[in-house]
Amino acid sequence: MTRPAGGGETHNSPTTHGDHSIAANDIKNVIIKWVLHPSARWLPLLLACAALVTAASLRPAGPVGGFAGWGSLAGVALATAVIRVLIRKPRHTSVIAALSLVSVLSTVGGWLAFQDAVAHREIDVTGQLRLEGRQPLDGGPHNALTLRLGEPALKESRDALRLTLALTDHDPAGPTCVQDTSATVALLVSGVEAQETDLRPGGTVDFTLGARTSSVEIHLALHTAHGCRMDVRTARAVLHDT
């Protein structure tokens, strides 16, 4: 039987019986002994800080939205660890144990959340989506463009591409045609157009990509009024997991 360092309490539960209860109590007592040891006072904080610094240095550039879970858990880990450090003379062993445990578990949970966010984070490929074809487009013979995303942009595999297109007047000083303009976009899969969608200017489409896609090709056909000349621009292209 292990006794806690300063409290004189017995941590065996009076309601448990048999070999399992003895083993559980042993583990519990070991943890409590460790938690209350002076050297363990700073450990949760050091662990939380180390995890935070490592994660921050490894975090890839891009949208931060996917890292909210990691951020929250890291915050909890740091806060509980700081509180643990500030308690110099523990009166309630269970509070100290709980703080240390919550901090360590939050650090571990935060690290796992970080790894998950890195693996499934959104990748901004706006600058890498090439528009091939002559611009401006009209509603007649020059109404088609191809949007292409090469292998470098797809080195990290994702399920889908979210694409927002800007369709603007070629000459903003001339009569506006935006209200009469739309585009049909289709993903080219094995040479066949699929997932065809109509887009209004500023509209967003989500294409589902196949597993291990090495390149993405999207065909665009512009529809606009007679005499209109429009520019097509990628407002935003993001690879993401569904």
Minimum distance, C-beta of residue 136 to another protein, in the bound complex (Å): 10
Q: 131: which residues sit within 8 A by CB, 6+ positions away?
A: 145, 146, 147, 232, 233, 234
Nearest to another protein of 45, 199 (CB atom): 199
Question: Quick one: angle between helices 68-86 and 93-120, nearest 10?
Answer: 160
Nearest to another protein of 25, 197 (CB atom): 197
Minimum distance, C-beta of residue 162 to another protein, in the bound complex (Å): 18
Nearest to another protein of 63, 227 (CB atom): 227
Nearest to another protein of 59, 229 (CB atom): 229
Nearest to another protein of 152, 172 (CB atom): 172
Q: Please tell me the distance from the alpha carbon of residue 140 to that of residue 225, in angstroms, as a whole number.
A: 9
Long-range contacts of 25-29 (CB under 8 A, 24+ apart): 26/2, 29/1, 29/2, 29/3, 29/4
The helix (H) or strand (E) run that includes residue 196 is strand 192-199
Minimum distance, C-beta of residue 130 to another protein, in the bound complex (Å): 24
Binding residues vs another protein (CB under 8 A): 167-169, 171-180, 200-203, 225-229
Minimum distance, C-beta of residue 220 to another protein, in the bound complex (Å): 16
Minimum distance, C-beta of residue 132 to another protein, in the bound complex (Å): 24
Minimum distance, C-beta of residue 61 to another protein, in the bound complex (Å): 30
Give me the residues paired with residue 131 across strands. 147
SS3 146: strand
Nearest to another protein of 65, 141 (CB atom): 141
Q: 104: which residues sit within 8 A by CB, 6+ positions away?
A: 44, 47, 77
Q: Which tokens sit at 157?
A: 């595999």
